[in-house]
Structure 1
Amino acid sequence: MVCVSCLTCMNVCQNTDMSQGGVGIDLETSLGYLLKEASSALRQAMEAVLRPLEMTVTHYSCLELLAQRPGLSNSELARGAFVTRQSMNVLLQSLERGGDVSRSAEPPVGKVRPTRLTPQGRRSLAKATAAVRSVEVRMLGGMTPADQSAAFTILQSMIHSLRNENESA
């Protein structure tokens, strides 16, 4: 059961008696809410270290994706960076004008214009990666290697469970 107050974070309501004006979930014990809060804190910390580099998290994500998978399309980059195709298209145009990426003027096949990092884009990415890595190190600072491994496994399991649920719906 999902209550109206839970729709913003898509948590399953812990309070099954919403007819009595229940508030939905207890935010203090909601794992979904805690994950959203952690995600928000991580994004804020990343934005703070990327801002001096004149970069956003989406900008950094796009460069990182292209370094790992050269030639991705606009749609593939949008999915990987968790933004709309339209937002990614605007970003790619800006990155292309700024010299961080290159795209062929004509698509080699169909409508897809593969994108690649330029040498300048690789230099920008190297600086951003160091900044983002410092945030991740800070985030994991209070965890043992075993805790980190367990957290990684648990988060992967959650993602897998949610994606499988969405595919079967």
Structure 2
Amino acid sequence: MSNGITDRTPPADVTERLGYRLKRAAAALRGAMDKALREHGLTVPQYACLELLDQQPGLSNAELARGTFVTRQSMNVVLRGLQDAGLITRPATTDHGRALPAHLTEEGHHRLAAARSVVYAIDQRMTDAVPPKRLSALLADLDRMAETLGG
């Protein structure tokens, strides 16, 4: 009898498939982040953008889009919202082609610091659900899955 876990026979029940389980976990993470970030006036893509700009100031729209898993068109909207809120600055023009490098403002740093604590707490709750002796293997498995699918 096949259980779909110990052999390679795909489970008939879609809710037992790996992709479904990954999507369920991702949806739960996104929902928790949406709720927590709403209290800080941010969306998940805006928060991700602020995190990237904190680590690598001056990233372009295209670089930020790749790093936050959104389209360049969506990143334009995210950047406009962050700029309108006074959380980032971007020059009106640039000497280096079309890329407009973005930088956090002082308010952007403050908002990120406040939001980061709630996001990291969510990440820690998720991490705590995995037995410590299995965590590094799980992370390696997730990386291999992403690489296998070209991500």
- Regarding TM over 0.5, the answer is yes
Query: Of 131, 139, 142, which aligns to 1:152?
Result: 139
Match of 1:134 in 2: 121
Task: Kindly report the root-mean-square deviation, in angstroms, between the aligned alpha carbons of the 2 structures.
Answer: 1.7
The one-letter code of the counterpart of 1:87 is S
Percent sequence identity over matched residues?
45
Query: Of 21, 33, 46, which aligns to 1:34?
Result: 21
The one-letter code of the counterpart of 1:104 is P
- For residues 92 and 159 of structure 1, the distance between their equivalents in structure 2, rounded to whole angstroms, comes to 27
- For residues 131 and 79 of structure 2, the distance between their equivalents in structure 1, rounded to whole angstroms, comes to 39
Match of 2:101 in 1: 114
1:22-101 correspondence runs (5 A)? 25-101=12-88
Q: Say which SS state the counterpart of residue 163 (structure 1) adopts.
A: coil
How far does residue 90 in structure 1 lie from its aligned partner after superposition? 1.3
Which consecutive unaligned segments of at least 5 residues does structure 2 have?
A: 1-9
Given the two structures, how large is their TM-score scaled by the length of structure 1? 0.79
The one-letter code of the counterpart of 2:24 is E
Misfit runs of 4+, over 4 Å: none
Q: Say which SS state the counterpart of residue 71 (structure 1) adopts.
A: coil
Match of 1:161 in 2: 148
The one-letter code of the counterpart of 1:96 is Q
Given the two structures, how large is their TM-score scaled by the length of structure 2? 0.88
How far does residue 94 in structure 1 lie from its aligned partner after superposition? 1.6
- For residues 111 and 128 of structure 1, the distance between their equivalents in structure 2, rounded to whole angstroms, comes to 31
- For residues 130 and 90 of structure 2, the distance between their equivalents in structure 1, rounded to whole angstroms, comes to 41
